[in-house]
Amino acid sequence: SKNHPFYRLTFFAQAEHQRMLKEKDMENRMEEALTNREFVVYFQPKIELKSNRYVGGEALVRWLNPQKGLIPPDEFIPFFEENGFIIKLDLYVFECVCQHIRIWLDAKLTPAPISVNLSRAHLNNPHFLDNYILIQQKYNVPPHLIEIEITESLLSENLETVIWAIDKIHNAGFTCSLDDFGSGYSSLNMLSSINVDVIKLDRAFFKSLDMENDRERAIIETIIDMTKRLKMRTVSEGVESGLQLEFLKTIDCDMVQGYVVSKPVPVNEFEKMIFKERG
């Protein structure tokens, strides 16, 4: 039966074996995939609730594998974080973003700021930002159009390094946001030493679509209130329903990023959305 210890053992051994094969395959193919431009940057728009306008977007990578089709980041980012390839991939994503912003600027469009995810692996290198600055300068992109997202889970590991990294990010003129806030790693008092511009509320807060639970609402409202007092802007992530949107409006959340606005889309669709209303 399936509960027999031997069955369970072979099941796990097989699953483990499958995972190893998959990782070996990724390891063998990653460099070539980068050269062949198999990694594609999608964009998810952010809207400002007050005005209902597009005010930015997040760059999210996908792997367009010739055999396997579009692979979501959760299937390769964790492995690339382990083997270090994420550093190259993040820089590649950043270069794609700068290229697009340059195209928009040249077309006399007013681009909204774009955020990119910065993996923890970068922070082991004291010069981690140098390559970002070189790329930003190569495309002559005004740094305020770039936002760098660091994840909350970093705070529990090395607060000093994160504080130092945020300083570097600010000195380069980039905006800095704290991603996945409230996902469980940081304590609130860490926020007093974390000088970010934007807090992104983790999408776990928006699991119930109807927003009928008083306690859940109270927690979201309190976080938004607190971040405002700390002079930070707030983005609610993973918002899927109109009821959530209405609630967030009433409690003065600044921005929303979620399927209720749009899923992450290829660049040409993103351009249509954000430049439509500006002509």
Kindly list the residues in this chain that would bind ligand C2E in the complex (CB under 6 A): 44, 60-61, 72-74, 77, 86, 90, 93, 117, 119, 179-180, 203, 237-240, 257-259, 264
Cα–Cα distance measured from residue 185 to residue 154, given in angstroms and rounded to the nearest whole number: 8
Using the minimum distance from each CB to ligand C2E, give the nearer residue, 227 or 236: 236
Question: 258: which DSSP letter?
Answer: S
Place of tokens 């909204």: 112
CB of 246 to ligand C2E, least distance (A): 16
Please name the residues in contact with 21: beta carbons below 8 A apart, sequence gap of 6 or more.
none
Question: 274: which DSSP letter?
Answer: H
Among the listed residues 149, 152, 254, 271, the single contact to Ca ion using CB under 5 A:
149
CB of 227 to Ca ion, least distance (A): 15
CB of 201 to Ca ion, least distance (A): 9
CB of 180 to ligand C2E, least distance (A): 6
Pseudo-torsion of CA 73, 78, 81, 87, nearest 10°?
Answer: 0
* Residues from 233 through 252 that contact Ca ion (CB under 5 A): 237
CB of 106 to ligand C2E, least distance (A): 24
CB of 228 to ligand C2E, least distance (A): 22
Cα distances from 83 to residues 5, 28, 88, 120, 206, in angstroms, run 33, 12, 11, 12, 32
> From the centroid of its chain, how far is CA 64?
19
Residues 114, 149: contact at Cβ < 8 Å?
Answer: no
Among the listed residues 180, 194, 239, 245, the single contact to Ca ion using CB under 5 A:
180
Among the listed residues 44, 117, 257, 262, the single contact to Ca ion using CB under 5 A:
117
Structure tokens at 12: 């796990």
From Ca ion, ligand C2E, none, interface partner of 98 (C-beta below 5 to 8 A by class): none
Closest to 64 (Cα-Cα) out of 42, 86, 97, 83: 42
Using the minimum distance from each CB to ligand C2E, give the nearer residue, 93 or 194: 93
Using the minimum distance from each CB to ligand C2E, give the nearer residue, 240 or 269: 240
CB of 42 to ligand C2E, least distance (A): 7
Using the minimum distance from each CB to ligand C2E, give the nearer residue, 16 or 27: 27
The piece of 19-27, 34-42, 74-82, 177-185 that touches Ca ion (CB under 5 A) is 177-185
Using the minimum distance from each CB to Ca ion, give the nearer residue, 90 or 237: 237
179 binds Ca ion (CB under 5 A): yes
Pseudo-torsion of CA 239, 256, 52, 110, nearest 10°?
Answer: -130
Using the minimum distance from each CB to ligand C2E, give the nearer residue, 71 or 105: 71
Q: What is the DSSP string of 55-109?
A: EEEEEEEEEEETTTEEE-GGGTHHHHHHHSTHHHHHHHHHHHHHHHHHHHHHTT-
Using the minimum distance from each CB to ligand C2E, give the nearer residue, 46 or 168: 46
Residues 92, 39: contact at Cβ < 8 Å?
Answer: yes
What residues line the site for Ca ion (CB under 5 A)? Answer: 117, 149, 151, 179-180, 237
